[in-house]
Structure 1
Amino acid sequence: MTPTARLAAAIDLLFQMESTPKRPADAVANNFFRERRYIGGGDRRDVSTQVWAVLRAWRRLEWWLKRAGGEAQPRLLVGALLVLEGRPVESLARAFSGGRYAPDVLEPYEARVLRALEGHTLDHPEMPEAVALEVPDWLLPLLQEQFGDQTAAEIAALTSPATLDLRVNLLRTTRAEAAAALLEEGIEAHPTRLSDWGLRITSRQPVMATKAFRDGLVEIQDEGSQLVVQAVGAGPEMRVLDYCAGAGGKTLGLAMTMDNRGHIVACDVSEPRLDGAVRRLRRAGVHNVERHLLVQGDKWAKRRAASFDRVLVDAPCTGTGTWRRNPDARLRLTRIDLDELTAKQSGILDAAAGLVRPGGRLVYATCSVLREENAAQIEAFLARHPSFSMLDLHDPATLDAPISASALSPDQPFLRLTPRQHSTDGFFTAVLMRAA
């Protein structure tokens, strides 16, 4: 594709995202490229890079366009970003040529708006703080409560491009062997700092097209998510419940730590997500997992009360810790969403607590950085359930394989990860024990 064709494709993709505002941007992009298989891998990466750059700068671009008398629509968003990055409008007008595969010619008002932006950069001292930091107005005070004077630095890290992390499947290979297999296919991967099972690739690479992936040697999983699995402390012969399993990412990790022994039940309320786990389990060589669909009025939980050694609740949450991968999520998140999710998290925790055997452990995790979904949720749970107590992850006796000290904060018994501090997605994990 020519540069102008890639520009036109980026605008088209943004239009698709705008027309389906409730769908995650990555899902829209996957469908967009699936329908346009003529777009090669390199062109896909270039188009995606342009689109994600707009998503990461959306509030600032919207502020500039409003100031210049324009609207935040895809053509002007893309054009504004290029101009604020230093591209002259005259040059941009040549790219918007209306020729074959190129964007349509700039309308006079579009050219006028873009000319008003020449000589400026993306940031401006008059921007409201929430706009400059690319977060919703209502959310900024909650982030400031969590991060204090580090708020700007933490948010900047949350909105920066993410790395690509892999979890090595120790049921099939070793970390060194997996890295060597990837290198044979032209992909250089290095050991992660915090997870003993992880490999990190610093640029976007087609990992899923490799033989190493197809053979189940590696699975795409953020390093922080791998530490959540480690915090469960699941071992061979245990009975383990992954209560919000989704498509089974953490289920696969649990099966690995259990050496494919014992028994795992992967539950979810979504049948398509559970069905999506089947191929992943087969590829990884996992055979100790049972899937169960949770439905209204289900007697399954009652029959299995107090029977699991470990129960993992990877709770539905705002996903604020994954903004590096899903910058569009910031634009959709509302206060109502947060209130609904915290109520749902409380209900899930209460239900899951009854499935933990005496002396067993309940592990609560989110990919959120908000206190309301994390520490505050655990404090409220412990007040409702005095038979549970929180374990200190600093204590080497808590886990057979202790979590790296550099992943833990000295004054917190739980795990709280952020991109700025740990180069992972944002995660929270607390380990609770039920009295024997």
Structure 2
Amino acid sequence: MTPAARLSAAIDLLCAIEAAPRRPADATANAYFRDRRYIGGGDRRVISARVWDVLRQWRRLHWHLRAIAGGPSPRTLCAASLLLGGEELGTVRGLFSGERFAQSHLTQREDTALAALAGAALNDPEMPGPVRLEYPDWLHPYLVRAFGASLEQEMAALDSGASLDLRVNLLKGNREEAIRILRNEQVVATPTSLSPWGLRLPGRQPVTATQGFREGIIEIQDEGSQLIVAALDARPGERVVDFCAGAGGKTLAIAMSMENRGQIVACDVSAPRLEGAVKRLRRAGVHNVERHLLTGGDKWVKRRAGAFDRVLVDAPCSGTGTWRRNPDARIRLEERDIRELLVKQAEILERAASLVKPGGRLVYATCSLLQEENEDQIAAFLSRSDRFERVAAGGETLPVSLREKTGFSLTPHRDGTDGFFAAVLRCKPV
């Protein structure tokens, strides 16, 4: 594809993302490219990178283009991103040539607005803090509470692109073997510093086409997510519940830590997500997992009260810790979402806790950076229940620095992972 055709496709994709504001951008992008299989892998990466740059710069671009009557369009957003990234105005104008596969010529209104940006920098000293740091105004007190003086550093880290982390499936190999297999396909991977199962690749790479992925030796999973499983510390032969399993990413890692022995129940309220786990479980060689769909009026939880050694609650949350990968989530998040999530998290935690047997372990986790969803949620739960107490995570797979803690928070700036929180609780013995 020509540069003009790539830009035109990026604008089309951005239009599709704007047309589905509550749908994750990566889901929209996957559908967009699935319907256009004629777009090659290299072109897809360039198009996606352009769109993701715009999403990461969303508030700043709108600030620069605030004088446009009716607000910026995907055309002006993409063009402004190029200009503020250092492209010459003449080059950008040339991409809107009106030729085949290119966008139509810039209108007078668009050209005037873009011409005013020539020579400007993306970050302007006149920008309000939330605009420059790319988060909603209403979220400012939440983030100040979470980070204090390190707020700017943490937000800058969230504004950068994420690395690609993999988890080696010890049921089928080890890290050295996985590194060698990937190297044979010109994919360079290095061991992660915190997870003993992790590998890190620079940038986005097509690992799903590699032999290691097809054979279930590696799985895509952020290093922080791997540490949540390490904190659960599930052992072979135990009975375990992954209460908010989704498509089974943590379920796979739990099965690996249990050496495929014992019982795991993967629960979720979404049938499509649970169904999506089937192929992953098969590829990984996992056979000690059963799936259960949680529905309204379902008595499964009540009937199995106190029956499990370990329960993981990977609670639905704001996802603020994943903004490196999902910059569009910053645009969609509203304050009412936080209020609704806090209620839902408390309800889920109560239900899941009832499954833990005396002496058993409960791990509550989120991919949120906010105290309200994390420490506050645990403090409120413990104030309501005298059956549980916080305990040191322990275990041999967590880094030594985390083993004596009753929970931990991970951030991109400090730890090089997505943002995660985990609290380790024990159901007091009778």
Asked if 1:435 is matched to 2:393, the reply is: no
Query: Structure 1: how far apart are the matches of 2:416 and 2:401?
Result: 12
Alpha-carbon separation, structure 2, partners of 1:423 and 1:337: 27
In the alignment, what sits opposite 1:426?
419
- Write the distance in 1 (CA, Å) between the matches of 2:338 and 2:130: 18
Q: Deviations over 1:42-96 (max 9, x none)?
A: 1110001100000000000001100465722100001111111222222211111
Cα deviation code 1:321-345 (max 9, x no counterpart): 0000100000010110000001000
- The alpha-carbon deviation at position 413 of structure 1 amounts to 3.3
Partner Cα separation in structure 2 for residue 196 and residue 211 of structure 1: 22
Local SS of the residue matching 1:312: strand
Distance in 1 between residues matched to 2:370 and 2:153, nearest whole Å = 16
Aligned to 2:188: 188
What is the aligned-residue RMSD (CA, Å)? 1.2
Per-residue deviation, 1:392: 2.6
Q: Is the 8 A contact 1:154 1:419 kept in 2?
A: yes
Which residue of 1 is the match for residue 257 of structure 2?
257
Alpha-carbon distance in 2 for matches of 1:406, 1:319: 25
Q: Matches of 1:293 and 1:68 in 2, distance apart?
A: 49
| Structure 2 match to 1:333 | 333
Contact 1:136 1:331 in 2 (8 A): yes
What is the alpha-carbon distance in structure 2 between the residues aligned to residue 91 and residue 281 of structure 1? Answer: 49
Q: Residue deviations 1:117-157, cap 9 Å, x none?
A: 11210111111111111000000111011100100110111
Aligned length: 429
Does the alignment pair 1:296 with 2:291? Answer: no
* Structure 1 segment 282-293 matched on structure 2, within 5 A: 282-293=282-293
- Contact 2:168 2:197 (C-alpha < 8 Å) held by counterparts: yes
Identify the residue that residue 238 of structure 1 maps to in structure 2.
Answer: 238
Equivalence for 1:77: 77
Deviation at 1:37, TM superposition (A): 0.7
Hey, what's the Cα distance between the residues in 1 that align with 2:316 and 2:66?
35
Task: Determine helix, strand or coil for the equivalent of 1:179.
Answer: helix
Output the amino acid matched with 1:75.
R
Counterpart position of 2:406: 413
TM-score normalised by the chain length of structure 2: 0.98
Q: Encode CA deviations 1:6-32: one digit per residue, 9 max, x unaligned.
A: 111111110111111111000000011
Q: How does 1:42-121 map to 2 (within 5 A)?
A: 42-67=42-67, 71-121=71-121
SS at 1:66 equivalent: coil
Tell whether the 8 Å contact from 2:196 to 2:397 is kept in structure 1 after alignment: no
How many angstroms apart in 2 are the aligned matches of 1:39 and 1:427?
35
Alpha carbons of structure 1 residues 353 and 187: separation in structure 2 relative to 1, 3 Å: same
Q: Is the Cα–Cα contact under 8 Å of residues 70 and 113 in structure 1 kept in the other structure? A: no
Match of 2:171 in 1: 171
| Distance (Å, rounded) in 1 between the aligned partners of 2:343 and 2:27 | 27
Shift of 1:348: 0.4
**Residue 144, structure 1, aligned to residue 144, structure 2:** yes
In 2, Cα distance between equivalents of 1:49 and 1:208: 19
CA distance in 1 between counterparts of 2:401 and 2:301 reads 37
- Give 1:287 deviation, angstroms: 0.3
Q: Which residue, 378, 381, 398 being the options, matches 1:403?
A: 398
How high is the sequence identity, in percent, across the aligned residues? 59
Structure 1 counterpart SS, 2:38: coil
Shift of residue 211, structure 1, vs aligned partner: 1.3
Distance (whole Å) between structure 1 residues aligned to residue 92 and residue 285 of structure 2: 52
Q: How far apart, in 2, do the equivalents of 1:92 and 1:435 lie?
A: 65
Q: Tell me, yes or no, if structure 1 residue 3 matches structure 2 residue 3.
A: yes
Separation in 2, partners of 1:298, 1:53: 44
Aligned to 1:34: 34
Aligned residues of 1:69 and 1:113 also touching (Cα < 8 A): no
- In structure 2, stretches of 5+ residues that fail to align are none
> Contact 1:194–1:407 (CA<8 Å) still a contact in 2?
no
Amino acid in structure 2 at the alignment position of 1:71: G
Alpha-carbon distance in 2 for matches of 1:250, 1:204: 21
| Structure 2 residue matching 1:138: 3-state secondary structure | helix
- 1:415 Cα shift? 1.3
Contact 2:195-2:397 within 8 A present in 1 as well: no
What SS class does the counterpart of residue 99 from structure 2 fall into?
A: coil
**Secondary structure in 2 aligned to 1:376?**
helix
Q: Which structure 2 residues correspond to residues 355-374 of structure 1 after superposition, within 5 A?
A: 355-374=355-374
Counterparts of 2:69 and 2:296, CA distance in 1: 51
Alignment of 1:357-396 (within 5 A): 357-393=357-393
Residue type matched to 1:282 in 2?
Answer: R
SS of the equivalent of 2:205 reads coil
Runs of 4+ in 1 over 6 A off after TM superposition: none
